[in-house]
């Protein structure tokens, strides 16, 4: 009987040698006349173990990793096809604590199913949310999303249901659903993992959004550096179309929904929703004034729902299991689960989906296992390049939108980047300003000019040139950028700078201070 071996086709696993491992397994199986079926799944998100291969056995799937092509003969010798013992064995995948202790809702199929197989998707609960939605009115779908408490997972955490209701109420013959798959934040990869590992869930979520607001056309605006996700999404869209899940008559309902992938412009600002719309219309990605909101006047001037990949991929489970099921997870006004991406200096980087409420310490010390260098954690940047640097003394902050705002931070898209005690926080502050200067779309002065001046002032402080006066100037400049910028790039780039100044002032000591210390 054929034995199924899963080898991820996830870009992270590929970068670590998964393709060579898949070929080695296939050729070694031929050589030994073993009947092996290799399935290319997504990643389980245990990146320190990638390439993590799994074998379907009588005790469920058994995991081995990190596997390199040269390990393959010894895996066959150890009878891994029946879960045999090997130095790289981790036992049943479902029992690995990192996975077992998570609460995977949005990611429940990622790494489990074959992303190219619609049958596998359906066998694991796929398209049940759409089936429910097809029996509901647009208002009822929107109400369900509202009741679930789902907030946007792209950064601003705006309630998805309110956005959808605004679009539903806007009268127009043409409306759009746009998926923001630009995933520009540092240390983030959740969107990519979904698109590569469970692409049908995004298609299903977007189709439900289309039914809810009355849109018949959807676009996935995809980060240009994600060719594997592009291939996975395009293959899944073609399969869904052929099976009648997309097109002019979705599941025989007489309702239309079509979907296309568009590659992004390759700039961080193209992830900002109005810039994204400009880019999708074929123009330079530059921020639009609001109002009008995109939900009223969006793509080509038509009402448009724009949501992040994780937001849209969370919708099918809400429609399938009900708003209450999703809402029961979480804490305070942060309902449901958040897929958190652990990156930077960590022993166990990866994807952790869990209900809101666990602490940053649970994540970086518990799941992450502390720093890979073995040195103490000094700072954690949460929420991408515009997120504040959180000192070790604040690691007990719960993962909750409001709790992070209370300490001057933000959860953003759930990216967590860890630094040990060798980090130079003045250099990190300078980097934040420089990033803003490089990525600024140039539309407003506080960001365009302010960020360049900010880099210069930080350089003067670090050089020991009139440190106190220049620190006053830098703080003043940051306040001007926060208050006067048109969008959150200029409006939030000061947060990492100010947090570095507030929590790590010793790193800004000028040359003279350092010499005297
Ligand atoms: C500079 C900047 C970059 C952004 N980049 C992204 C991005 O890469 N992906 C994303 O989903 N949202 C990004 N956003 C947030 C979007 O503007 C918008 O809030 C989001 O797409 C809405 O979807 P959501 O409500 O599902 O989060 C960015 C915002 C700013 C200001
Ligand atoms: S804050 Fe920066 S990126 Fe945003 S609109 Fe102004 S110049 Fe453009």
Q: What is the pLDDT of residues 296-328, one digit of tens each?
A: 999 999 999 999 999 999 999 999 999 999 999
Q: Is 90 helix (H, G, I), strand (E, B) or coil?
A: strand
Give the residue, out of 486, 491, 492, 495, with the most ligand 2 atoms within 8 A of its beta carbon, to mutate for a pocket test: 486
Nearest-atom index, ligand 2, CA of 286: 8
Residues of the chain with pLDDT under 70: 510-517
Protein residue with its CA nearest to atom 10 in ligand 1: 154
Nearest-atom index, ligand 2, CA of 490: 1
Q: Are 480 and 498 in contact (CB under 8 A)?
A: no
At residue 514, the pLDDT reads: 67
Nearest-atom index, ligand 1, CA of 274: 17
How far, in Å, from the CA of 490 to the mean position of ligand 2? Answer: 5
Give the residue, out of 385, 434, 485, 492, with the most ligand 2 atoms within 8 A of its beta carbon, to mutate for a pocket test: 485
Nearest-atom index, ligand 2, CA of 491: 1
Specify the DSSP element, H or E, that contains 237: helix 227-242
CA distances (Å), origin 326, targets 128, 210, 337, 355, 432: 15, 21, 8, 10, 36
- Tell me which residues have their CB closer than 6 angstroms to ligand 2: 269, 287, 440-444, 447-448, 485-487, 489-490
Q: Is 79 helix (H, G, I), strand (E, B) or coil?
A: coil
Nearest-atom index, ligand 1, CA of 276: 17
From the CB of 420, is ligand 1 less than 6 Å away? no
Protein residue with its CA nearest to atom 4 in ligand 2: 487
- The residues, ordered by sequence, that sit 6+ positions from 348 with a Cβ below 8 Å of its Cβ are 46, 48, 98, 342, 367, 368, 369
CA distances (Å), origin 378, targets 245, 372, 441, 493: 49, 13, 32, 20
At residue 420, the pLDDT reads: 98
How far, in Å, from the CA of 458 to the mean position of ligand 2? Answer: 21
Nearest-atom index, ligand 1, CA of 156: 19
Question: Positive or negative CA dihedral for 193, 198, 202, 208?
Answer: negative
Give the β-pairing of 258-263 and 415-420. Answer: unpaired
Q: ω into residue 51 within 30 of 0, thus cis?
A: yes
- The residues, ordered by sequence, that sit 6+ positions from 408 with a Cβ below 8 Å of its Cβ are 388, 495, 498, 499
Give the residue, out of 146, 148, 155, 183, with the most ligand 1 atoms within 8 A of its beta carbon, to mutate for a pocket test: 155
Quick one: CA torsion of 151, 157, 159, 162, rounded to 10 degrees?
-140
In SS3 terms, 141-173 reads as HHHHHHHHCCECCCCCCCEHHHHHHHHHHCCCC
Q: What is the pLDDT of residues 55-94, one digit of tens each?
A: 999 999 999 999 999 999 999 999 999 999 999 999 999 9
How far, in Å, from the CA of 275 to the mean position of ligand 1? Answer: 10
Protein residue with its CA nearest to atom 6 in ligand 2: 444
From the CB of 439, is ligand 1 less than 6 Å away? no
DSSP characters over 125-140: TTTHHHHHHTTS-HHH
Q: Which long-range contacts (CB under 8 A, 24 or more apart) does 93-98 make?
A: 93/44, 93/54, 93/60, 93/61, 93/62, 93/63, 94/60, 94/61, 96/46, 96/63, 98/46, 98/348, 98/350, 98/352, 98/367
Beta-bridge mates of residue 344: 418
What sections of 296-382 are H helices per DSSP? 309-313, 315-321, 323-327, 360-361
Protein residue with its CA nearest to atom 6 in ligand 1: 271
Give the residue, out of 146, 151, 156, 482, with the most ligand 1 atoms within 8 A of its beta carbon, to mutate for a pocket test: 156
At residue 399, the pLDDT reads: 97
At residue 321, the pLDDT reads: 98
How far, in Å, from the CA of 506 to the mean position of ligand 1? Answer: 34
From the CB of 180, is ligand 1 less than 6 Å away? yes
At residue 511, the pLDDT reads: 62
How far, in Å, from the CA of 9 to the mean position of ligand 1? Answer: 27
Beta-bridge mates of residue 260: 219
How far, in Å, from the CA of 254 to the mean position of ligand 1? Answer: 33
Give the residue, out of 448, 454, 494, with the most ligand 2 atoms within 8 A of its beta carbon, to mutate for a pocket test: 448
At residue 1, the pLDDT reads: 82
Protein residue with its CA nearest to atom 1 in ligand 2: 490
Closest-lying ligand to the alpha carbon of 437?
A: 2
Protein residue with its CA nearest to atom 12 in ligand 1: 154
Q: Please state whether the predicted TM-score (pTM) of the whole model is above 0.75.
A: yes
From the CB of 191, is ligand 1 less than 6 Å away? no
From the CB of 153, is ligand 1 less than 6 Å away? yes
At residue 108, the pLDDT reads: 98
Closest-lying ligand to the alpha carbon of 268?
A: 1
């Amino acid at each position: 009987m054929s034995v199924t071996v899963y080898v991820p086709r996830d870009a992270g696993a590929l970068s670590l040698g998964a393709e060579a491992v898949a070929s080695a397994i296939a050729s070694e199986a031929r050589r030994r006349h073993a009947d092996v079926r290799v399935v290319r799944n997504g990643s389980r998100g245990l990146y320190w173990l990638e390439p993590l291969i799994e074998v379907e056995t009588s005790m469920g799937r058994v995991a081995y990793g990190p596997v390199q092509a040269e390990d393959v003969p010894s895996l066959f010798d150890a009878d891994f096809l029946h879960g045999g013992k090997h130095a790289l064995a981790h036992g049943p995948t479902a029992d690995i604590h990192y996975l077992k202790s998570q609460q995977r809702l949005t990611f429940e199929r990622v790494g489990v199913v074959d992303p190219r197989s619609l049958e596998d998707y359906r066998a694991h609960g796929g398209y049940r949310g759409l089936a429910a939605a097809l029996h509901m009115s647009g208002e009822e779908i929107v109400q369900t999303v509202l009741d679930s408490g789902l907030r946007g997972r792209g950064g601003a955490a705006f309630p998805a249901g309110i956005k959808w209701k605004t679009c539903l109420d806007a009268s127009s013959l043409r409306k759009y659903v746009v998926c923001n798959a630009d995933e520009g934040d540092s240390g983030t990869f959740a969107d990519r993992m979904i698109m590569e590992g469970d692409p049908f869930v995004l298609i299903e979520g977007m189709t439900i959004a289309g039914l809810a607001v009355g849109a018949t056309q959807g676009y996935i605006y995809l980060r240009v550096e994600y060719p594997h996700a592009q291939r996975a999404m395009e293959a899944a869209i073609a399969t869904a179309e052929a099976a009648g899940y997309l097109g002019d008559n979705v599941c025989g309902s007489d309702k239309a929904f079509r979907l296309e992938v568009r590659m992004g412009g390759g700039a961080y600002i193209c992830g900002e929703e109005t810039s994204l719309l400009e880019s999708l219309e074929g123009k330079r990605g530059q921020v639009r004034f609001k109002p009008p909101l995109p939900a009223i006047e969006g793509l080509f001037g038509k009402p448009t729902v724009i949501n992040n990949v994780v937001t849209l991929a969370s919708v099918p489970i809400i429609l399938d299991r009900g708003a209450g099921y999703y809402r029961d997870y979480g804490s305070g006004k942060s309902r449901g689960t958040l897929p958190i991406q652990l990156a930077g200096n960590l022993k166990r980087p990866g994807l952790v989906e869990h209900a809101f409420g666990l602490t940053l310490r649970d994540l970086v010390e518990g799941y992450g296992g502390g720093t890979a260098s073995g040195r103490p954690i000094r700072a954690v940047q949460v929420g991408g390049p515009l997120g504040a640097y959180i000192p070790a003394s604040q690691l007990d902050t719960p993962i909750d939108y409001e709790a992070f705002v209370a300490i001057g931070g933000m959860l953003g898209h759930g990216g967590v980047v860890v630094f040990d005690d060798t980090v130079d926080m003045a250099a990190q502050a300078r980097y934040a300003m420089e990033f803003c200067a490089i990525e600024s779309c140039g539309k407003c002065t506080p960001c365009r000019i302010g960020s360049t001046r900010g880099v210069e002032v930080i350089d003067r402080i670090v050089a020991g040139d009139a440190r106190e006066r220049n620190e006053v100037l830098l703080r003043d400049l940051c306040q001007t950028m926060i208050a006067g910028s048109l969008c959150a790039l200029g409006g939030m780039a000061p947060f990492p700078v100010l947090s570095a100044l507030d929590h790590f002032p010793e790193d800004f000591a000028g040359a003279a201070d350092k010499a005297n210390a």
